[in-house]
Amino acid sequence: MLLSHPAVAEAVCFGVPDEKYGEVVAAAVVLRPEAASTPEAEVERAIKELCSTKLSAFKVRGKARSKGGGAKEGDPEEEGSGLQTEG
């Protein structure tokens, strides 16, 4: 599903430990080079929108990640995708 977004070049989903649920699904995406000129927040929002139209709301959550993979400052329940630009 993530690969159906025009900005996404590569995507992988994997399980990560979670205190509440035992394990949750996380995703990492690599953006196409042409998406690099689009603000990260805009692309992240569009990918979340795509996910929310295809998945139950409780499945579209997680901690926002920076391009380097570290947690961003802010609300830990804020949804995120760990966006990186291919290239």
Judging by DSSP bridges, how do beta strands 83-85 and 22-31 pair with one another? parallel
Tokens for 18, please give them: 């979670």
CATH number at residue 80: 3.30.300
Q: Could you list the residue range(s) of the whole structural domain that residue 72 is in?
A: 2-85
The model carries a pTM of: 0.61
pLDDT in tens, 21-80: 899 888 888 999 998 888 988 988 898 888 888 887 777 765 445 555 454 444 334 444
How many structural domains are present in the chain? 1
